[in-house]
Structure 1
Amino acid sequence: MPELINPTARLRASFLAAVTEFRQDRDTPVPWFVTDVDPPALTDARAFNAYVARVLGERDETAAPWDGFVPMTTLWWAEGDQMLGRLAIRHRLTPALEKAGGHIGYDVRPSARRQGHATAMLAAALPIAASLGITEALLTCDDTNTASQRVIEANGGRFIDTVGQKLRYWVPTS
């Protein structure tokens, strides 16, 4: 059964295969986390270990790798040695994240889509968000992304409004 786990070098081969799938998928934009992978990590095992350490370090409030950074807990949705998706829980919001981005963002690799992973992954993340002090998580999705709308609503999402082309929802974490 899949579960949320900390990023780990053990899943390097599957992670790299997922990155390739995301880049080859012509139906959806490449997720930001794919473009955020340190290029050497794609070819060198030691650089991948450093990438994993960087991602784990982003949970620390004092880590500020870029302007506008907020701490976030990144987790991978995995079953055995297969990385099926990734999820990030932002510990707080900036004004920009309140409009687009929200507390939680998730991606399921193309070969694992339409199998219920996004719904299960978000459900598993809500108690973690609660443990970070988030009582209601703000989630956003494109107004054309009906799959994500269904995932959010299946997890108790209550529609708030539309900002630009983003739908915004409050999702209880308990």
Structure 2
Amino acid sequence: MPSLLPPTVDAHRSFLVAMDEYVAEGRGGLDDFSNIGADLRAYAATWSTPAGFARFVDFLLAQRLEETQRPPGFVPTTVLWWLDGDEYLGRLNIRHRLAPGSAGERNGHIGYDVRPSARRRGHATAMLAASRPLAAALGLPRVLITCDFDNDPSRRTIERNGGLPAPRQDEKLRYWLPTA
């Protein structure tokens, strides 16, 4: 049964296969502003080796720490992988607070992504449900979650988890989700 766990080098092989799936669907280009896209651009050239992958995993784990250097506007973020044993199925990020300015309202507290070959099996809904107590433990009584207005699968995931609609911003639907 899958669970949300910190990134681990044990998922190296499966992670690389998942990233190949993302690339095959067109992810990773300069117009891909997702975490998957950013990671593909920054780390794909080095994460094929065990040492390169270990550096990538260390980078992800360090994102939860307040003292970690990060670009302006980025906030501490707990990165979790949805794993079934060592099989990488997806990723979920919990931002410890909203980013400053409109970026926080646009991106929200939680973002998630399921690898292409694992979609339409309820993984996103289960990941989001599993993240709620973790967000509560970070001191977040409720979280803002956003999705593109035309992303019906993500909208359904948020609504299945009890997301309450908030005013739309640009092309983003916004929902507040209680964590308890």
Query: TM-score, normalised to structure 1's length?
Result: 0.94
Residue 8 (structure 2) aligns with: 8
Residue 92 (structure 1) aligns with: 97
Moved more, 61-70 or 2-11: 61-70
What is the letter of the counterpart of residue 106 of structure 2? A
Gaps of 5+ in 1: none
Aligned pairs (5 A) from 1:18-167? 18-26=18-26, 31-37=34-40, 38-94=43-99, 95-167=101-173
What is the letter of the counterpart of residue 70 of structure 1? V
Query: Does structure 2 conserve the Cα–Cα contact (< 8 Å) formed by 1:137 and 1:172?
Result: yes
SS at match of 1:41: coil
SS at match of 1:36: helix
The whole-number CA distance in structure 1 between the counterparts of 2:129 and 2:35 is 22
- Per the alignment, do residues 57 and 26 of structure 1 end up closer, same or farther by CA in structure 2, a change over 3 Å counting? closer
The Cα shift of 1:109 comes to 0.3
What is the letter of the counterpart of residue 112 of structure 2? Y
The whole-number CA distance in structure 1 between the counterparts of 2:52 and 2:71 is 20
Gaps of 5+ in 2: none
What is the letter of the counterpart of residue 63 of structure 1? T
Query: Does structure 2 conserve the Cα–Cα contact (< 8 Å) formed by 1:64 and 1:70?
Result: no
State percent identity of aligned pairs.
Answer: 47
Deviations 1:8-40 (A, max 9, x none): 00000111111111111159x854334325234
What is the letter of the counterpart of residue 22 of structure 1? Y
Query: TM-score, normalised to structure 2's length?
Result: 0.91
CA RMSD of aligned residues (A): 1.6
SS at match of 1:97: helix
SS at match of 1:70: coil
The whole-number CA distance in structure 1 between the counterparts of 2:168 and 2:83 is 32
Matched positions, count: 173
The Cα shift of 1:45 comes to 1.1
